[in-house]
Amino acid sequence: MNETQMNEKKANMDQFIELDVKKLKHIEAERKRLLKFALQSVPDIHFMRCPRCSCRLEEKTIDQISIVICAQCKGLWIHSESLKKVLGLSGDKADNFLKHATK
C-alpha cells in the first residue's frame, strides 16, 4: 500500500468515525427525548384510579393522617393505622377532618 492509498484509507476511516459520532449523538439525543417523555408519562400510567368512577385519586394529609380520595365521587381510602387515628378524633376534630378530606 503506497502513501496515497494509506492517506485515502485514513480519510475514509476518519469519515466513518465522524459518521459514527454523529450517529451516537443522534442516538443519545433520542434516548434523552424518550426518557423525558417516559418520565412525564409515569404519573399518568401509575396514578391510582377510583374503582367506582375511574377518576384520578388524590393523596391528602390532614392533621398528619394520610388518605386517598376521589375528587369526583368523594370515595375515600384510608390505611388501617390512619383509620385508628380518625376514630380517635373527638367531635370538632373529626368534623374538621371530614370537612378537609372531602372538599
| Interface residues toward Zn ion, by CB under 5 A | 50, 52-53, 55, 70, 72-73, 75
Return the number of the residue (30 or 58) whose C-beta is nearest Zn ion: 58
* Residue 37 beta carbon to Zn ion: minimum distance, rounded to whole angstroms: 28
Q: What angle do CA 41, 46, 51 make, to 5 degrees?
A: 130
Taking residue 57's Cβ as centre, other Cβ atoms within 10 Å add up to: 19
Q: Least Å distance between CB 57 and Zn ion? A: 8
Smallest distance from Zn ion to CB 103, Å = 15
| Rounded Cα gap, residues 65 and 83, in angstroms | 8
